[in-house]
């Protein structure tokens, strides 16, 4: 009986993710994201499940079906990964105008943004916060082939304290409006982890500190206590889920790392002790250092609260300086952008910021491939072009190791052996 139950549970995981047929792609150049070496004239062969069976020089003999897709004038890379997105939200869904947007409407917004995201070359995303489990529905719709979009790991509603960044503080008391993830105290937080997993979350997202786009709090101020975060991390890990903590504040970053949280989102005000703790615990740091430009230039027009713009002015530059310092100190870093704060599909604009603030192009690309896959626990599936991984392939004109901005104009996207877009067809 128990065995039958387990098999039934496993079935959705085994279903094919796309309707690919076996085939191959010939790449003029191919970036080996592990070594950072650029290989020439490579063939990627995949099977009917969209899984890579061989990668190597095109001159070798492989058992292939049909003529390879010709990308001999292009550079291939593995599909990119953004570990911090909000596909069901747009920049205009912040502040008071967000109160007029229904949960079903947000699901439709998610379908639009999933398409934009995968077409921009991001074939996998980790979605960290959505109302009403719209992210679970979107993930399932994509996996069933109803909606075009990236592979998704989703968190459902983010957990947070009453009145915190992950609550909704826009309305007065008489409306009794509370966000779906609010839970105070270790046991209530544990119960909320269980509830979130029950309704389909792949990971748990929490708000450890205050934030920018929320009303009445400060990014540097601690919200969840160490004790609450320890309970959340223990409960989530017991249920096989990782935890991502929104944390701008110096103290909250350290408390979250000490509590065993798996990734620190934003990481804005991290200090040397926090960096040392992250290295000691192997905690990933995710710095969303592109969207500062968008918030300061477009945020007011998009309807963000005046206090949000003021908060961003205070921490935006500090976050970028701390990104450089943390990278030079050797912490683990994954590529996450907070897409939704800025328009979806522009995710790759962050690469140039990461290079501007201390990384080499190859470091930034590794953060969005092998390192992001490691944080997700999906290294065996995505993040590199090797046998056994999904045939998630993107291609660009030019050399991303010389000019990382070519990733802002991805011209070919394949997900699981199925072509999502191809602008090289004129050849």
Catalog residues that contact Zn ion under the rule CB under 5 A: 338
CA distances from 242 to 56, 246, 252, 339, 357 (A): 34, 13, 18, 20, 28
Distances (CA, A) of 37 to 30, 73, 217, 409: 8, 18, 46, 21
CB neighbour list of residue 417: distance below 8 Å, 6 or more residues apart: 18, 20, 21, 22, 23, 46, 47, 48, 49, 50, 51, 390, 391
Those residues with Cβ within 8 angstroms of residue 188's Cβ, 6 or more apart along the chain or in another chain: none
Minimal distance in Å, beta carbon 49 to Zn ion? 33
Residues 119 and 99: their CA atoms lie apart, in Å, by 30
HSE-CB at 288 with a 13 A cutoff on CA atoms is 29
Strand pairing report for 412-415 and 418-422: antiparallel
Closest residue to Zn ion: CB criterion: 338
Alpha carbon distance 362, 35 (integer Å): 9
Q: Which residue's CB is nearer to Zn ion, number 82 or number 338?
A: 338
């Amino acid at each position: 009986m128990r065995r039958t139950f387990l098999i039934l549970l496993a079935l959705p995981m085994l279903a094919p993710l796309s309707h690919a047929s076996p085939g191959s792609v010939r790449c003029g150049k191919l970036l080996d994201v592990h070594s950072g070496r650029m290989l020439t004239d490579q063939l990627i062969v995949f099977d009917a499940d969209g899984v890579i069976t061989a990668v190597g020089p095109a001159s070798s003999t492989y058992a292939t079906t049909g003529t390879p897709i010709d990308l001999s004038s292009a550079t291939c890379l593995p599909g990119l990964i953004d570990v911090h997105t909000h596909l069901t939200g747009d920049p205009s869904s912040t502040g008071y105008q967000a109160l007029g947007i229904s949960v079903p409407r947000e699901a439709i917004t998610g379908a639009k943004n999933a398409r934009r995201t995968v077409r921009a070359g991001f074939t996998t995303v980790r979605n960290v916060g959505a109302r009403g489990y719209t992210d679970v529905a979107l993930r399932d719709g994509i996996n069933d082939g109803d909606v075009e979009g990236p592979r998704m790991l989703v968190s459902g509603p983010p957990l947070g304290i009453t009145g915190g960044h992950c609550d909704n503080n826009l309305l007065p008391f008489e409306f009794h409006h509370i966000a779906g993830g609010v839970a105070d105290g270790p046991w209530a937080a544990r119960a909320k982890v269980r509830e979130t997993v029950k309704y389909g979350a792949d990971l748990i997202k929490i708000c450890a500190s205050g934030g920018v786009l929320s009303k009445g709090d400060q990014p540097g101020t601690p919200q969840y206590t160490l004790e609450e975060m320890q309970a959340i991390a223990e409960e989530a890990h017991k249920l096989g889920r990782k935890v991502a903590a929104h944390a701008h504040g110096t103290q909250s970053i350290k408390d979250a790392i000490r509590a065993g949280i798996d990734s620190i989102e934003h990481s804005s005000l991290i200090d040397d002790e926090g960096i040392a703790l992250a290295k000691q615990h192997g905690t990933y740091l995710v710095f969303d250092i592109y969207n500062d430009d968008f918030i300061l230039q477009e945020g007011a027009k998009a309807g963000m609260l005046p206090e949000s713009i003021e908060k961003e002015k205070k921490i935006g530059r500090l976050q970028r300086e701390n990104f450089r310092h943390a990278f030079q100190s050797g912490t683990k870093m994954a590529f996450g952008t907070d897409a939704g704060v800025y328009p979806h599909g522009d995710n790759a604009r962050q690469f140039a910021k990461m290079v501007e603030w201390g990384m080499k192009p190859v470091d930034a690309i590794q953060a969005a491939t092998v390192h992001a896959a490691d944080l997700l626990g999906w290294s065996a599936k995505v993040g590199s072009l090797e046998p056994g991984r999904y045939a998630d392939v993107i291609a660009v004109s030019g050399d991303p190791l010389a000019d990382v901005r070519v990733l802002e104009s991805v011209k070919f996207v394949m997900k699981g052996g199925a072509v999502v877009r191809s602008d090289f067809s004129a050849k």
